Amino acid sequence: AQSVTQLGSHVSVSEGALVLLRCNYSSSVPPYLFWYVQYPNQGLQLLLKYTTGATLVKGINGFEAEFKKSETSFHLTKPSAHMSDAAEYFCAVSEDGGTSYGKLTFGQGTILTVHP
Amino acid sequence: NAGVTQTPKFQVLKTGQSMTLQCAQDMNHEYMSWYRQDPGMGLRLIHYSVGAGITDQGEVPNGYNVSRSTTEDFPLRLLSAAPSQTSVYFCASSFTPGAEAFFGQGTRLTVV
C-alpha cells in the first residue's frame, strides 16, 4: 500500500531564506512522486514531479526536489523564499502497477509562511 | 479548454438528504479521482477510477458512491448526508498515473 508523510504541518521562514519541506513515502513498486501547491480558496497546481531518470527535478517558481530511494524521501527545496511562496504544499505518490495502480495519494500538507 | 469542471461550487444540505456532485473533464483522461479536504488532514481519497466502468475505493469511501459510465464524467453521490461529510470536495483527472493531475475548483459542502 502506498502512503505519504509530510513532516511538519507548518513551516515558517524569512523572506530570502532557504525553504525545506519534507516528504517521505512508502510504495510497493517504483513510485511516481509529485509536489502540488494550493493557494487560498483555489485548487491544486503541480510544482514538479519525478517519474524516472534524473533524481533531482526542477519545477516552477524556483522549486526543486530530490528523489532518494534509499531514504524513501522526496523533499522540496527553494534556495530563497519569496512572499508569494506562502501557500499550502502537498506531496503525493502514485503507482503504475501493484495493488495501488492508478491511485494518487496525498500527504497531510505543509503550510508555508514567509515573513518579511 | 474547460479542463475539469465541478458543480455545484457551494451546497448546503440537511442531514439525511442525498445529492450528487458532478465532475466532468474534456481531456480524454482515463484516471479520475474524488478527494475531500479537511483542515490538517490533507486530501483524502474517496473513490477513484482507472477507466470507464472501473472504480475502486480509496481511503474514506463510506457514505459515498461513484460510477463511471463514460470517460468524461465521474459523479460522486452522497447517499444520506451527515454533518461529518461537511468538507471541500475536489475532483481530479490525469492521463496516466505518472502524469500531472488536473483539479477542479472544488465544491464546498455544508451538512446541517
Cross-chain Cβ contact B43/A90 below 8 Å:
yes
State the average pLDDT over residues A23-35: 89
Distance from C-alpha of A41 to C-alpha of A87, rounded to nearest angstrom: 11
B positions 64-93 inside 8 Å of A (CB): 90, 92
Interface subset of A 13-72, CB within 8 angstroms of B: 32, 34, 36, 42-44, 46, 49, 51
Instruction: Answer whether residue B97 shows pLDDT above 90.
Output: no
The whole-number pLDDT of residue A103 equals 85
| C-alpha to C-alpha distance for B44 and B3, rounded to whole angstroms | 22
What is the DSSP code (8-state) at residue B72? S
pLDDT reported for residue B1: 63
Would you say A89 and A37 are in contact if contact means Cβ atoms under 8 Å apart? yes
Q: How far apart are CA B36 and CA B7, in angstroms?
A: 15
Give the minimum alpha-carbon distance from A79 to chain B in angstroms, rounded to a whole number.
24
Which residue is it, cell 497546481?
A45
The pLDDT value given to residue B88: 96
Which residues lie across from A50 on neighbouring strands?
A33
Residues B44-50 have a mean pLDDT of 94
pLDDT value of position B96: 87
Cβ-contact A64, A55 below 8 angstroms: no
Least confident among A25-29, B9-13, B50-54: A25-29
> Alpha-carbon distance A77 to A65, whole Å?
6
| Cell numbers given for A35 | 509536489
> Span A76-87, mean pLDDT?
97
